[in-house]
Structure formats: C-alpha cells, structure tokens
Structure 1
Amino acid sequence: MDFSVNEIAADVFRISYYAPELDFTFNQYLVRDEEPLLYHTGFRKMFGEASSALRRIIDPAKIRWLGYSHFEPDECGALNQWLDMAPAATVVCGPVGGGVVLDDYADRTARILRDDEVLTTGRKRFLLLSTPHLPHGWDATLLFEETEATLFCSDLFLHAGNPPALVENDIVGPARDQLLRSAAGPFAHATPWTTRTADMMKGLTRLNPRTLALMHGSAFRGDGGKMLGDLANVMQELAVKDAL
C-alpha cells in the first residue's frame, strides 16, 4: 500500500492511502505538537503501512492523543494497535463515544470531553464539537483546532478519486456529485437531514475555518465557512428531493 504524506497546515500532516478498487482516499491527520495528536486511526489491517508512513514525521511511540469522529473501521479500527505502540496515548472523544463504545472497545480508558470543551496539546487548542448523526452515528463529534482554524470534518465533503492533498478551489461540487451517486447505492441515507442538522451546520460555518481536513478526498484551504454553508444548502436540497 502506497501512503502519501503532505503538510496541509502548520504542523498538520495528511497521511493518505488511495484504494483504487473503491476509488476513494482514506486520510489520517497527524498534528505535530508537544503532545502529538492523530485524528483517524485508519483500518486495523492497514496499521503497519500507516504507522510506517507516520514515522516519516515523528516516532509513533510519541503520540499522546488519538481522536476520531464516529465508530467505523476507517475512523478507529486500528485504535488499540496505536494504543499498544504509543504507551502514553489516550483516546479523546465525546460522552456517547466514551460511554457507549469505548468503555468496552478500547484497551485504555478514554478522556471524555464535553461539547465545546478544549484539549490543549502545547501550542494548539482543540475544541470538541458534539455533532450527533453529522456526518453519521449517534456518537459523532468533530474537532476544531483554534490556533490555525483547522476543522477536522470526517466524512463531510466526501468525494471520490485520488485528488491532490490540498486544494483551494470548490469542494462542494464533487461532494454533491458523490451524494447523488451514493443515493442510488448502498450508502443512501448515510448522512441524514434531521431537525438539528441545519443548526449544527450553521455552528460549524460560524467557526470560519481556514482549512478543512477531510477523511475522503482533498483537504481544502480558503473560506471554509462558505464551503460549509454551501454544503448545508446541498444537503438540505437533496434531503427535500428525497422526501418528495
């Protein structure tokens, strides 16, 4: 497996694997700081290659924090393998992820953060955002790094292909195309439009992120607030069409 490593913001590295059979990239993000943080653990079966790619940046044993959005194999499948490699590492998550999932799944006790609680890793400050069912999953959360205004947005803006690591052009169009393709296949309704979705998207928009760190596809640099607002309009539009 060929993993690429690219710095997409100051001390934020995209570690990416392209799966041609799925036509998707699977991205993990290492934040290099006094207490390094890895967002998305990747698949359990890809742990060897992913940890080797991360070693190009830092010694994996020095990872202090592990984060992810919701319980899926690409988000946290290799969580216990990272915990085994990094003896001081702790998983950071929200109350639902900690109490419902990780209390049984993880080999070490997680640090549970409340909605809008901050985790400091040295120079960087991470705000935990509770976003149930956004992108999906009751346990879903996102992380916003305040000092560089980077939003780790998981499956939001998901798009296919093997695009560049970082772009400054539109990512809403490719995400809309993917949502339309998914609606006709097994991933239909993966991201529901609930009574709370609009308010959650408005909250993300108000953060005005300068960088969007996507799980699948290119990371984005630019007016992240506009991208989030435009994505919310697309999501609502497609949800209304689906209901007709």
Structure 2
Amino acid sequence: MAPITRNTSLKALQTRLKALLGMFDDIYRFVDSMGEDTPATAATVRLEKMDELWDQINDATMEIEMQDDFDDDNEIYSRKRSEFGDRYYRAKSLLLEKVKEPEEKLNLSNTNQQPTHEDVRLPQIKLQAFDGNIDEWLSFRDLYLSLIHCKTDLPEVEKFHYLKGCLIGEPRSLIDSLAITKANYQIAWDAVMKRFNDSKMFKRRQVQALFDLPNVARESVVKVVDNGTVELATLSLPVPPLER
C-alpha cells in the first residue's frame, strides 16, 4: 500500500485516479469480450494486474478524501468506490472461471480416457462455525487452515469473507471493526490466533480432564481363611491405560 501524503495536489491525485480507473476499464472490456477461444493465459495476466489496481485505486481515493481542499459533501468518490467494487468482484469471478477452464477440461479428459472404480466423488466438507468454545478451537483451526487459509490460489480478500462467515460472538467481535480488504486479512487471522491458540490453556484443560475421570469401581468378595473364618476382601478392577 502506498503511503498517504498531503503533499500532492488534489488535481494531481484526481488525474492519477482517472488513469487507474482507465486501466481497470480496459480489463473490464476484455472480460466482457471473452469467449471460448480466449486463451486462459490472457485472463491470468489481467487477473494479476487487477489485484494491483484494486489496491492502487483504493489508496488514491483515500488520499483524495484526506486533502485539505477536498469537499466533504461531494459523494462522487464514495459512489465511485462502490461502483468500482461491484465491477471488480464481477470481473474477478469471470476471470477466475476462465483461468480454471483448461484444468477442468484436462480433468474431464483424463476421466474419460482412464475410467476406474476408484474415481469416487467425495462429499463436500462444510466449514465449521466457531463461537469461542475453547474445546472446539483445535478442530475449527485445523479445518479452516486446510480448507481456506493455506489455499494459495484463494485471494486474501475472499479468505477474509470466509473467516467472518465462520466466527460467532466473541471471536467475530475481534475483527468486526476491520474492513474486508486484502491487507486486513492477515491482521484479522493473527488476532483470532493470539486470542484462542493458547498452548498453556490446552494443557490446563487436559489436566482438568484427568481429574474429572470417574472413580474406578471396587467390588467386595467373600474370602475363607484357613481356620474357616469368613472375611470380606476388596477386589480392585484393572484401570485401562489412557489413550494418547
């Protein structure tokens, strides 16, 4: 993200924003003109450039609104930001679909050429919600890391959408004040990890669980000693080993 400065004139910033929006419009026109014969590589390079433009346009708009001579009553920039966001997400989803087309066609071709009985469609895994219950943290963390956080092909801003959708109550309140942007995703995830990923807390829970184990039952049996006297003896049942 470029540093915000007030040394640049409002007119210069407006000119810069206009140029950036013009570059984005070129990509948007390309998306509207895509067809079956459009190569996936052409979509890939524009997808990379579009993410860069997203950051630059948002920075330029913010710099304009922070200028001393900016008219606070002028809603044109907030409207432009909203319109740009809608167009950005539409264009990005269409570009992602175009990039994935060759891979899907290759998978379909391989399936048709080499049918096997092992080709079983696995059920979709549903993301787990987390409401702050520490007993559920590890299962939530590991599943979220596998399905969302560690996916290198998933944009950070989309990961942020998934993260907010999974959290309830206290965990959600930790990140509610953060805008859903690429830059804020790692900040949000770090905040959740710092609050709940406490190894000392897990050890205390394990020790407490040991103390909460039910008492082992004991049984009394009749025992006859050598002189014929009958006595009661206590029989201790074997304790199964704890699972690790």
| Shorter-chain TM-score range | under 0.3
TM-score when normalising by structure 1: 0.22
TM-score when normalising by structure 2: 0.22
Choose between structure 1 and 2 for higher RCO, CA contacts under 8 A separated by at least 6 residues: 1
More helix by share: 2
Flag the structure with larger Rg.
2
More strand by share: 1
